[in-house]
Amino acid sequence: MPEHRSHIVLVEDSASQALKLISLLEAEGWLVTWVSTAEEAFITLRDKRPDLVLLDYYLRHAGDEVCRRIRMHVDSRSLPIVILTAQEDKELQGLDSGADDFILKSGNPEYLLLRVRTLLQKARPEGRIFAGGDTGFRTARLLAIDDSPTFLEHLRGELEREGYKVDTALDPLTSLDLVRKNKYDGVIIDLLMPKMDGFEVCRRINELRHQLEVPLITIVLTGAESRDNLFRALEAGADDFVGKSGDYAILKGRIRALLRRKFYEEENSRILHEFRARELEAARERVAKEAAEARAALVEELQQREEELRSSREELKRANEAKDQFLAVLSHELRTPLSPVLAVVAEWCDRPQVPEELRRDLQMVKRNIDLEARLIDDLLDLTRIIKGKMEMRMMRWICANC
C-alpha cells in the first residue's frame, strides 16, 4: 500500500518565492499545489482536500481575508494554515484572522519545515462534512453602477486586483435588468446619476432581494458625505454608505466586511439546510425501518399462526382417525354377538311346533335384530366413506311380476 503524501497548497503571487518554497517542500516528500491568486486557492480548496495551506500575507486579495474565508467554511475550519510574510509587525493581525502560525519568509528554512511538519503530524485527516457545498469558496461577483466611465474603469481595476469579478453599468435602468438576470454578491451604486439617483436604485434593488437566488449587499457611494444622505441611503435598503476618494482602502475594507458577513450567513443557511435535509432523511429511514420491523413482526406472527393452524389440523386429523378406528372396532364388536342370536331366533321361527303367539314374538325379535344389524352396517359404511374405501357396485334387480 503506497505511503500517504501530505498535500500542501501554496498560495503565493511571487513566482520566484513560489519556486524556492516548492523546492524546499518537495524535498521533504510533500505534494505541493501552487496557486497565485485567492480565486485559484478557493477553487483548489473546493475541488480537493489538502492537508495544509501556506498563505502569502500580501496577496492582491489580502492574505488575512483569504484566511478568514477559509475558516468560515465548515469543511476547512480545522485545516492548518500558515501565513508567510516579509514583515514581522503583521503577526498579530495574521493570527487574529485564523492562521495557526505566522512565519517570516526571511527566516531559517529549517524553522519553516519544522513548523509545517509539526502541524501536519498533529492535524487529523477529515472528510467533507457536507457534499457539494462550495458557497464559501466561490469568487464574489460585484456590479458597479456610475454614470462616469472613467470612474467605473478605475473602480473595476481596483476591485479586480482584490480578486473580485466586476461588471459595470452606466445606466441605472440597465443595471436593474442585470441584477435580475445575474447572481451578484454585491452592488456598488453612485448616489448622483441623471436618470435615477442612488437612493431609488437602492430601493428598487431592495425590492428585488426576495426574488434573487443569491442575497446581495448594496453600498452607496457619494462625493459629498452628509448625515442626511446616510440616513436616506440606509432607509432605502443600503447596507453601507461610503464617500468617494482617491484612496479605495476604506471601500475595499467595507466590501470585505460586508461580504464576510454575507458569506457567513450563506454558510449558516447552507449548514441549516443540510441538517434539515439529513434530519428528514433520518426520519424517512426511521419510518422505513419501523415499517420493515412491523412487516417482519407481522410475517412472524402469520407464520406462527400458520404453524398453529397446521398443528391443529394434524391434531384434528389424528382425532378423526382415532374416531374412525373406534367406530370401526365398535361396529365389528357390536355385530359379532348379533349373529348367533339371529341364527337361533331364525331357527326357532322355522319350527312348526312353536306356538303362534311365541312365533310372533320371535319374528318381532328377529326384525329388531335385523334392524340393529343394518344400523351397524350403516355405521360401517359411514366409516368406509370417511376413509374413502367405499365401493359402489351396479346390481341388476329382476322384478318377479315382469
Q: What is the mean pLDDT of each run of 10 residues along the chain (402 residues)?
A: 78 90 93 88 83 83 75 74 77 70 83 85 58 59 93 91 89 91 91 90 88 82 83 86 80 80 73 77 83 87 89 86 74 74 78 82 83 78 65 56 52
Nearest to 37 by CA among 19, 15, 12, 57: 12
How far apart CA 390 and CA 211 sit, in angstroms, is 90
| pLDDT the model gives residue 43 | 85
pLDDT value at position 130? 47
Task: List the domain boundaries for the chain.
Answer: 7-122, 140-272, 336-402
Q: For residue 187, which amino acid is it?
A: V
Residue 195 is placed in which grid cell? Answer: 436618470
CATH architecture of 140-272: 3-Layer(aba) Sandwich (3.40)
Rounded CA Rg of the chain: 51
Which 3-state string (H, E, C) describes 149-199?
A: HHHHHHHHHHHHHCCCEEEEECCHHHHHHHHHHCCCCEEEEECCCCCCCHH
**CA geometry: angle 165, 167, 170, nearest 5 deg:** 160
**Residue 17, SS3 per DSSP:** helix
CB atoms closer than 10 angstroms to residue 106: 9
CA distance linking residue 229 with residue 236, whole number of Å:
10
The CATH number, out of the four listed (3.40.50.2300, 1.10.240.10, 3.40.1710.10, 3.20.20.70), of the domain defined by the range 7-122 = 3.40.50.2300
pLDDT of residue 383: 67
What pLDDT does 273 receive? 75
For 20, the grid coordinates are: 524556492
Round to whole Å and give the CA distance between 346 and 348. 6
CB 138 within 8 A of CB 164: no
d(CA 273, CA 133): 11
Q: What is the pLDDT of residue 129?
A: 47
Residue 163, phi-psi category: left (phi > 0), alpha (psi -120 to 50), beta (remainder): left
pLDDT for 175 equals 92
Return d(Cα 199, Cα 238) in angstroms, integer. Answer: 8
Q: Which residues pair with 141 in a beta bridge?
A: 165
Supply φ then ψ for residue 240, to 5 degrees: -155, 165
Q: Which helix or strand (DSSP H or E) is residue 396 part of? A: none
Strands 31-35 and 7-11: parallel
**Is 261:283 a contact under the CB 8 Å cutoff?**
no
pLDDT at 252: 83
> Residue 144, exposed/middle/buried by CB under 10 A (0-12, 13-18, 19+)?
buried
Exposure string of 307-334, with b = 16+ CB inside 10 Å and e = fewer, is eeeeeeeeeeeeeeeeeeeeebeebeee
Nearest of 160, 163, 165, 168 to residue 143 by alpha carbon: 168
Distance from C-alpha of 60 to C-alpha of 248, rounded to nearest angstrom: 14
Q: Can 7-122 and 140-272 be said to share one CATH topology?
A: yes
pLDDT 10s digits, 76-87: 777 888 888 877
- pLDDT of 393: 58
Following CA atoms 383, 389, 395, 397 in sequence, which dihedral angle do they give, to the nearest 10 degrees? Answer: 0
Cβ neighbours, 10 Å, residue 210:
7
CA distance 209 to 69: 24
